[in-house]
Each structure stands twice: as structure tokens, then as C-alpha cells.
Amino acid sequence: MQGLKRRLKATLAVALVLAPLGLATPAAASTNVAEMIRPHEASYGFYVDTYLNNTADHKTIYNNPAVGVTSEFYRYWSPDKGILNQAVLDMSVAATAKATQNRTAAEERRSFFTDRVNLPYTIVSGLGPYATAFVKNAEAQTSYHVMPTKPVAKNDKAPKVPWANPNSKLGAIVQLINLNRLPYGKSSFPKKVYRYERPYRQSHNQVRPDPYLADFMAAAPKTDYDFPSGHSSAAFESGPTLAYVFPERFQQLVTRSSEICYDRMLVGRHSALAVMGGRAMGQAVTAGILNDPQNAALIKRAYREAHSVALQKSPLVTTQDEFANYRTNQQNYRFRLTYGLPQIGNTHVGPRVPKGAEVLLKTRLPYLTANQRRLVLATTELASGYPVLDDTEGWGRLDLFSAANGYGSLPATTKITMNAARGGFNAQDTWKNNITGTGRLVKQGTGSLALAGNNQFSGGIQLRAGGLTLTNAHAAGTGTLDVQAGTVTTGANLRVGHDYRQATTGKLVLAGPTSGLKVHGRADLAGTLVLKAGSRLRSGQTIMTFKHRSGRFAHVQGLPQGWHLKYTDQKIQCVRN
């Protein structure tokens, strides 16, 4: 025991150093898109085809997909031989120790309720302003509403109440989420295979259980195992499922899913590896359910309910939102992918996109094809080498938060068509990732796309229809910006890394008082220029620079009366007459 204490203290010190570090970026991706998105069959087959096989009588990596998808754990632990990699297991427990030692009062309260309420109910807060409407119209309930005044008793039996009503106004959503809680969606079977001890039993002094749950946890049977975490798998079943039917809250819901995972560490119940393995399993189960043709009609009904007066359009919608801060959500989600654990395996494995995983993005990126959504997953996933996440198919490496921001890289020409008449994300969307790669982006259709990343892709952009908003100086990447038709809008001093071309049916909108284009190559001009902040211009202000120019804008809108554009060989200025 003293040796374990010393190891955990040393490992905890390492964890304190590791935690602030950013995640490793994936190995340089191949430009062979077909290879990047090719599914890799595991020992059990493909999870989406075999998800129903997570049963008590299936106990191997060959016949139980839940065991197979978490089987990297066998590198560190054997249920028969015991510890195989002391250092990795110690780091995993040390991450939990650190969480419990630095737990705030707010985290103690939140994680207590995560522990005690019915599993699907725990995801509701991710709905933010829509949570009140969901609780009422799904008839959702929990037996826990206030913190106890004393620790929960060892033999506490919480009253069992159904988390929501499958016959309510949001009954189809409830029924769909309930599919996750059938036996194939639970971690209890793989837990009995691995038989790995809970962290609070391994390290009594370093891992500090929630004081309100300490007695209750101490009385749990020895067969109450750690890996993989059941709350974590449930969180990444109910969260992405609800995000599928209500994609307007996609990132907030998966952030709440990740928070539930972290809550399991905060109370001291689970190691970092346990919640990481649970996440991988939960994502796989969800994809299995959403891909199953038998669930198609229910999924459609659930989607309609989410966008009805019972939820999205409900008069009960509020302004309260625990997940309103995008940057905080992003930072928390990314940290919770690995909890600061370092890469210990092969860091040069290419992308792994599981068969059927693209369904998780189907409603969030509805204007992309299935293969395009697979490429989004491939270009936003975690690098290889992190403990327990390198399963054969790639469920452990998925980063759903980043994937909801669109491509992470354009390895080849990418054509997207957005139809504004379909509404939602088909009409308007924003890609927030910092996009790299050598490919070209071709934007088609009547919808509008905004690029908000610090982009470095070199293939250029071609706008054929609709709208394209470039929100910062480097949003256009490093290639040519070709406006064949449609409208390009920027409020920044936009850098165009190569040429700028605008056809007669193209339009450029400079939205801010200091907006402009810095073209590093040639400017071929035609079509329309719109100056949204014309009244705030300064005489002599430069709105475009270039190395060479041909043509002029045929139409200029927004210039104050008595002003004109002055064209020179290398710039365009707004000048008062």
C-alpha cells in the first residue's frame, strides 16, 4: 500500500504538469481520401452491425463488440494476471486523484446529482434554454432535487422513477433515448470481463470520494467494477442521440456528455481510462442504433418533435444556458478527451473512421454526403497513441465537438451544395476549425457558409452560388479566391494568399469600416462591390491591394454621395470628390 501511495504521489505530480498541455495533432494525413475514410474491421466485425451482441454470454473480443472496442485496456491490465503496465494505470488513477483533490463546491454539487439521478435525465441540462420545455413536455423527472444535509446512507435505496414518459408530447425522443438503455447499451457486461477495481478502493488517501457519497461507495460490493464507466457510456449514448434530433444544440449536448464523464472522476468512482473507454463504447452504441433500419421511423418522429412547439418552438424556452460559452465548452471537451494522459503508443497511425460513424453528424452537417462526413471525422479526430483509445475501428479517436465545426483539413477538392430552402444548417452554417491541407473548397447552392478559422489550406476557394462569409483575416486560406457567382462577405482586412477573381455575377461585400482585401497576387475585377460602412469611410482609405490588376467593379453600392473609387496599379481607394 505504501508503494502505491508513493507511485500515485509521483504520478500525480506528472499529471499536474501534463494537464495544461494541448492535445497532439494527428500524424500527417494522406491525400488519398478513399484510404483516409476506409473502415477497418475489428475482431468482432463492425460495431454498427454487431451492436446487439453486447450480452452476458458474449465475453471475448471476437463475439462482444463492447469488449472489443475497449480491448486496448488489456495492454495495461489482465483480469487473470493483474497489472501489465503499472505506469499507465497509475497515471489514470492519479488523474482521478487530482480531480477529487481540486474539486470545487459547484463541482461537488453537480457531480453528486450526476451520480444519483436517473442516467438519461443527466443529459437534460445540455439543452440549456430548452431544458424547461423538455422536462415539462417529456414529463421528465428525478427523485433528487436538493443536496442532502448529511451523507447518503450505506444502504440508501433511491426511489425508482421513470426518467421521462414515452407517451408524452416528446415521447418519440424518450423512446429513442430509451433504446440506449437496453442491455446492449450497458457497460455491465464488459465490466465483468475486465474486473478492474475502482480508483477509490485502490488509493484511499489520494482519491477522495465525494463526502456525501463516501459511505455509500464504501459499502458497494467488490464486484462493482471500474472499467468501462457505465455513466460515461450512457452519456455518450443519450447526448449524441439527443444531438442528432436537435442538432442546434449539438456541441452543448456533447459537452454535457463529456462533463458527465468528468463528474464520475470528480466523485472518485472512476479512473480516467474508465471514462475514456466508456465514451468510445457509447459513441459506437449510438451509431449502431441510428444506423439500424428498424429505428428509422422512430428517428424521424423524434426529429420532428424536437423542432415542434413542444421543444424548439415552445413558449417555455428561457435564456438560461450553462453551456453558452463556446470557448469554455471547447476547452473542456478537448481536455476530457484524454484528461492530460500522454501518448504512449504508435503516434503515426493514420485516420480511423468507424463504419457508420458518419451518422453521428448527419443532421449537424446535412448538406454533406456520407463520405464527406466521414472525411470530416477523419480530419478532426485525435492523433493515435493515447491509452485505451486506439481501438481497431477508431471509436476512441472521434472528436465530435471538433467534427461539428466542419473539416479540419481539405486533402482534395471538396464540393459542397447548400440548399437554403431546406432551412437550418442547410441554409446557414459556420466552420470554426483551422483548416489545413492542399485541397480546394467549392461552394455551391443557395445556402450561406461562414469560415471562421485561421485557415491554411492552399487549394483556394471557388464560390459558384449562395453566400460565403470570411470572418477573419486568414479565413480564406492561402490560395486563390474565385467568386464566379454569389456573394463573398468579410468584416476583416482579409488576406488573399494568391489571386482574387470576381466574375460579372459575383459580389463582394465589405461589412466593416476598415474591411478590405490584401491580395498577394493578381486581382481580376468585375461584378458588384458593396460598402456596408460607407458613412464611416475616410477619404483616401485603401480597400484593396494587389500586385497586378485587370478590370473594375461594374457596380458600387454604399459609397457616400460625392465619393468615388480610385484605381491604381496596386490598390483601390475610396476618395471624396
Judgement on whether residues 375 and 441 belong to the same structural domain of the protein = no
- Same domain assignment for residues 371 and 424: no
Contacts of 99 (CB under 8 A, 6+ apart): 262, 265, 266
Give the global pTM.
0.95
Please check whether residue 408 lies inside any domain of the structure: no
CA-to-CA distance for 271 and 395, rounded, in angstroms? Answer: 19
Q: Is 134 in the same domain as 23?
A: yes
**297 and 445 housed in the same domain:** no
Q: What is the DSSP letter of 341?
A: P
Same domain, 232 and 316: yes
Tell me which H or E stretch contains 97. Answer: helix 86-101
Q: Are residues 279 and 360 in the same domain?
A: yes
Same domain, 553 and 505: yes
Domain hosting residue 465, numbered range: 414-576
Between CA 193 and CA 226 the distance in angstroms is 11
- Considering the domain architecture, whether residues 490 and 399 belong to the same structural domain is answered as no
Residue 12: its pLDDT value, please?
46
**Count of CB atoms situated within 10 Å of the CB of 59:** 14
State CA 561 to chain mean position distance.
Answer: 49
What is the number of domains present in the chain?
Answer: 2
Residue 6 within a domain: yes
State which of 403, 426, 448 marks the end of a domain. 403
Give domain status of residue 479, yes or no: yes
d(CA 442, CA 137): 42
Give the pLDDT of residue 18.
Answer: 37
Query: Rounded distance, CA 272 to CA 15, Å?
Result: 11
Is the residue at 92 inside a domain? yes
20, with CB counted inside 10 A (0-12, 13-18, 19+), is: exposed
> Cα dihedral sign for 233, 234, 235, 240?
positive
Which residues does 539 contact at the CB level (< 8 Å), separation at least 6? 563, 574, 575, 576
Question: 397-432: b or e for each residue (b if 16 or more CB lie within 10 Å)?
Answer: bbbbbbbbbbbbbbbbebebbbeeeeebbbbbbebb
Instruction: Say which residue the cell 462569409 belongs to.
Output: 469
Whether 409 is in a domain gets the answer: no
Q: At what angle do helices 250-266 and 105-116 cross, to 10 degrees?
A: 100
Question: Does residue 508 share a domain with residue 363?
Answer: no
3-class DSSP string for 241-253: HHHHHCHHHHHHH
Final residue of a structural domain among 351, 372, 403 = 403
CA distance 245 to 302: 6
Q: How many CB atoms lie within 10 A of CB 44?
A: 25
Whole-angstrom distance, CA of residue 64 vs CA of residue 50: 8
Residue 326 domain flag: yes
**Cis amide bond preceding 240, omega within 30:** no
Tell me the helix, strand and coil percentages in the chain, rounded to 5. 40, 15, 45
Domain identity same for 425 and 373 = no
Same domain, yes or no, for 94 and 209?
A: yes
Q: Last residue of a domain, which of 403, 422, 451? A: 403
The closest alpha carbon to 472, from 485, 491, 458, belongs to: 491
191 close to 227: Cβ distance less than 8 angstroms: yes
Evaluate whether residue 141 is within a structural domain. Answer: yes
Within 224-325, residue ranges assigned H as helices are 230-245, 250-266, 272-291, 296-306
Domain co-membership, 363 together with 483: no
- Would you tell me how many other CB atoms lie within 10 Å of the CB of residue 327? 7
> Per residue of the chain (577 residues), what is the pLDDT tens digit?
445 455 555 444 444 333 334 576 665 445 799 999 999 999 999 999 999 999 999 999 999 999 999 999 999 999 999 999 999 999 999 999 999 999 999 999 999 999 999 989 999 999 999 999 999 999 999 988 899 999 999 988 877 899 999 999 999 999 999 999 999 999 999 999 999 999 999 987 899 999 999 999 999 999 999 999 999 999 999 999 999 999 999 999 999 999 999 999 999 999 999 999 999 999 999 999 999 999 999 999 999 999 999 999 999 999 999 999 999 999 999 999 999 999 999 999 999 999 999 999 999 999 999 999 999 999 999 999 999 999 999 999 999 999 999 999 999 999 999 999 999 999 999 999 999 999 999 999 999 999 999 999 999 999 999 999 999 999 999 999 999 999 999 999 999 999 999 999 999 999 999 999 999 999 999 999 999 988 898 999 999 999 999 999 999 999 999 999 999 999 999 999 8
